[in-house]
Amino acid sequence: MMPGVRPLRHQDLDLPSCIREIPDFPKPGILFRDINPLLRNPAAMADVIQRFERVCDAVRPDLIVGIESRGFIVGAPLALRRSLGFVPVRKPGKLPGEVIGVDYALEYGSDRLELQQDALSGSPRVLVVDDLLATGGTAAATGSLVVQAGAVLVGFAFVIELESLGGRASLPTGVPVESLIHYS
């Protein structure tokens, strides 16, 4: 647990019960963890945001950065609840104006993430949020992009972490990482 984050309260929901398991998606042998049932459940979404607020209490961000696209779903309401700004990190060609980007390796190829060039001006403290930490490549690239843009990376928060894929090891050492649901 992240230092300073309060332990779960009795009224916290059983979030894993809101996750649907879909075998053999997107390919045979993969057990996909689907958050769509959680997204359809207002009480579960409220619980996710409340738990992420505890992460904010611990790391005190100035801005929330959400990773396309499900990071937007949890990041924007979190930013609103905490009276913080929200900044999207997007795939290439999705943001207007001048952008900065980072290329990163995927299991089968490469990808790129971009951020508006002035989105993180003034060295804000940034919490990166997303729905899933798997291999960590996308989150690590986002963290790198945040630092490249001149911000201070103060933490990562995920709804789900697939521990067996080792994504946490790909993230910067010393930066707090909080996941609400852990699968081995």
| Active-site residue flag, 107 | yes
| Active-site residue flag, 114 | no
* DSSP class per residue in 25-54: -SSTT-EEEE-HHHHH-HHHHHHHHHHHHH
CA separation for the pair 88, 71 (Å, rounded)? 8
Catalytic residue among 68, 70, 112, 125: 70
Take residue 79 and report the two structure tokens written for it: 């930013």
Mapping DSSP to helix (H, G, I), strand (E, B) and coil, where does residue 80 land?
A: helix
145-155 core/surface letters (b: 16 or more CB in 10 A; e: else):
bbbebebebbb
- Tell me the helices (H) and strands (E) count for the chain, helix number first: 4, 9
Which residues are known to be catalytic?
Answer: 70, 107
